[in-house]
A and B are shown apart, each in its own frame.
Chain A
Amino acid sequence: MFKAGIFLKIFIILFVMFLTLEAAGYYLGSRNMPNIDNAEETKYEKTSMDTLKKRNSALRQRLENLTPDKVYIVIDTGMNKLYLKKGSAVIHEAVVSSGSGNVLKDPSGNRQWVFDTPTGEYTVKSKSIAPAWTKPDWAFIEDGEEIPKDPRKRIEKGVLGEYALGFGNGYFIHGTLYTRMLGRNVSHGCIRVGDKDLKTVFTTAGIGTRIYIF
């Protein structure tokens, strides 16, 4: 009975302390504070509103001018969509397959591959018709085969479709034999596109066309 009373008192004291801390934290978090740096405000203290408006308008224009007037490619790897765009208008849309995100470890060494499609800005570096695939080491490891010493044994024809657009580091926008898998993340990092859409992308994009992948 005596112990229960002490425990109850301790519990109440701790609970009150907790509530006090909560209240103090809540007060500090929800009080209104100025939403701008003082340094920033003093920097523009003597600048008139008109000057500020003009400067902002010039900066906005500089930013808007960054959108290319030429065709560019946007790839959404999460939605597996490719967009051909000009300015802010979409001129063609295609369902694609991008990187599976799977991991492959080399059983004999310390190498590891993560099959993600790289993100960021790239450009079309090469264009080829009826491309042949030079199989990298991971393709042999994945199939449980020995890596050939003769480079000619790495060449495989007909797996990349009719066209390929290279954008660096061995990554391509190319065709696929597995059209049923379009819309899914199944590739080793390249962008697989269906035949019709690939032809449109290939004929519209040239060397230097910008590619944005996210």
Chain B
Amino acid sequence: MINIFRFIFFFIAFTAFPTFAGDDKEIYIRERRLLEEELKLSRNPDIYFVFNMKEKIIHFKSRGISLKELQIKDFNCWGTPVSVNTYQVKEKSSLIEPEREEIKPGESKKNENYKTGAFELTDMPSRYTVVLDGGISIYIKPLTEGIVSGISNFSYSSVRFITRPILMLWNVFKGKPYSAIDIVLEKNDARAFYWSLSDNSKTIIDTP
């Protein structure tokens, strides 16, 4: 009887150990890749973004210096796994795009009360899509606070639930990768991220 238990114990130990070791190695290989990519980005003076999904943080960085951190409240990765690479922002889109106001020349001199509305953080959307190269789409939405945002978030998630599989299938037919990442942020953090992101911004995504 004892021999049977010993056999089971050693069988589990021998079969399980290589798997754990392999997993550990994969973690270090991914970390190495992440560090190498970031060192490459730090050679330029531009602002870049690192999505650390394990720690649920978005880092705003330049030259390797962390300038700002946003806490990810929740996330979900779907589709083709995202490898640790540098991805460039192709576009950011929302249902209602914020618009810049145009100054009327000479108007401030004629009319003392003339004012143009500034383009500020509060004008930025908190629910939007960021399309990166490599077939990656990041869907940002704010935390649910109250009935209106609850209904908006539910509608947004429902549309995503229906469109996501079709997009996946479409990309598989075209032989292209498709990865969808849903991220929930605080409303102001979602706006701050939209504010700082520009077309051609570089990002690194480290998924668990």
Our pick among A36, A68, A79, A119 for the contact of B47 (Cβ within 8 Å) is A119
> In A192-213, which residues have CB < 8 Å from any B CB?
212
- Chain A residues with CB under 8 Å of B165's CB are 21-26, 28-29
Q: What's the count of A-B pairs with C-beta under 8 Å?
A: 172
A143 to B109, CA, bound (A): 6
Q: How far is the CB of A27 from chain B (nearest CB, A)?
A: 8
User: B118 contacts A29, CB within 8 Å?
Assistant: no
Binds B, one of A51-59, A127-135, A149-157, A170-178: A51-59
Q: A49 within 8 Å of B by Cβ?
A: yes
A120 to B200, CA, bound (A): 13
Q: A10 within 8 Å of B by Cβ?
A: no
Q: Given A21-B165, A59-B32: A78 and B192 within 8 A (CB)?
A: yes
User: B169 contacts A120, CB within 8 Å?
Assistant: no
User: B101 contacts A103, CB within 8 Å?
Assistant: yes
User: B109 contacts A144, CB within 8 Å?
Assistant: yes
Binds B, one of A1-9, A37-45, A158-166: A37-45
A26 to B47, CA, bound (A): 35
- Interface size classification for chain B: 35 or more
Chain B, residue nearest A34 (CB): B81
Q: B158 within 8 Å of A by Cβ?
A: no
Main secondary structure of the interface of A (DSSP, over half): mixed
Q: B64 within 8 Å of A by Cβ?
A: yes
Q: Given A67-B65, A101-B118, A184-B120: A142 and B108 within 8 A (CB)?
A: yes
Q: Interface residue count for A (Cβ, 8 Å)?
A: 59
Q: B151 within 8 Å of A by Cβ?
A: no
Q: A102 within 8 Å of B by Cβ?
A: yes
User: A102 contacts B101, CB within 8 Å?
Assistant: yes
> In A43-94, which residues have CB < 8 Å from any B CB?
44, 49, 52-53, 55-56, 59-60, 62-64, 66-68, 72, 74, 76-79, 88
A100 to B124, CA, bound (A): 14
Q: How far is the CB of A138 from chain B (nearest CB, A)?
A: 9
Further pairs besides A66-B65, A78-B191: 10, Cβ < 8 Å:
A25-B169, A44-B29, A49-B25, A56-B32, A76-B68, A100-B118, A100-B119, A101-B100, A144-B105, A212-B62
13 CB < 8 A contacts A-B: A22-B165, A26-B168, A36-B29, A44-B32, A49-B24, A66-B42, A78-B192, A79-B192, A102-B100, A102-B102, A102-B119, A104-B105, A119-B46
